[in-house]
Amino acid sequence: MREGVQRPWHISLLLLIALMPATSNLFLYSFVLLSTAKDWGLTPFWAAIIGFAPMAAQPVGGLIFGSLSDHYGRRNALLLSLFLSGLSAALSGFSFGPFDFGVYRLLLGMVIGGQWAVSMTLVSEVWQAEMRGRGVGIAQTSFPAGFIYASAMALWVGPSSGWRILLMLGALPAAIALPLAYLTIRESPVWVADVSKRAAERVSYREIFQPGLLKYTVLGTLVMFIGSFGAWSLNPWIPIYLGTLGVGPERIPVLTLLIMVGAFAGYSLYGFISDRLGRRLTFQIFFIGMAFGLASFGFIPSRTWFAGEGDASMISIVLLGGWATFFLGYFSGYGSLFAELFPTRVRSRGIGFCYSIGGIGGAIGPASTGYLSSLFGLGNAFVIVSLTFLIGSAVVSLFPETKGKRL
Nearest one of 247, 252, 245 to 305, comparing CA atoms: 245
Predicted structure pTM score: 0.74
Domain at 292, CATH number: 1.20.1250.20
- CA dist., res. 382 & res. 368, Å (int): 10
Within 41-97, residue ranges assigned H as helices are 44-52, 58-72, 74-92
pLDDT in tens, 43-93: 777 877 777 766 667 777 777 887 788 778 888 888 998 898 888 888 888
pLDDT at residue number 326: 95
Mean pLDDT of the chain: 82
- Judge whether 405 lies within some domain: no
- Judge whether 299 lies within some domain: yes
Check: CB of residue 351 under 8 Å from CB of residue 321.
no
Q: For the beta carbon of residue 198, count every other beta carbon within 10 angstroms.
A: 11
HSE on the CB side for 106, CA within 13 Å?
7
Positive or negative: CA dihedral 297, 329, 351, 281: negative
- Judge whether 407 lies within some domain: no
Residue 253: pLDDT band (50, 70, 90) is confident
pLDDT at residue number 165: 83
Per the structure, the count of domains in the chain is 1
18 exposed, middle or buried (CB, 10 Å; 0-12, 13-18, 19+)? buried
pLDDT at residue number 308: 56
- CA dist., res. 208 & res. 278, Å (int): 24
Residue 363: pLDDT over 50: yes
249 exposed, middle or buried (CB, 10 Å; 0-12, 13-18, 19+)? exposed
Distances (CA, A) of 112 to 105, 247, 282, 352: 10, 32, 25, 10
303 exposed, middle or buried (CB, 10 Å; 0-12, 13-18, 19+)? exposed
Residue 219: pLDDT over 90: yes
- Judge whether 370 lies within some domain: yes
- Judge whether 404 lies within some domain: no
- Judge whether 402 lies within some domain: no
Positive or negative: CA dihedral 388, 393, 399, 401: positive
Bigger pLDDT: 42 or 77?
A: 77
Domain coverage including residue 331: 2-396
- Judge whether 403 lies within some domain: no
Angle at 351 between CA 194 and CA 180, to 5 degrees: 75
- Judge whether 264 lies within some domain: yes
- CA dist., res. 397 & res. 387, Å (int): 17
Positive or negative: CA dihedral 94, 97, 100, 102: positive
Residue 3: pLDDT band (50, 70, 90) is very low
Query: DSSP readout, 261-301?
Result: HHHHHHHHHHHHHHHHH-HHHHHHHHHHHHHHHHHHHHHST
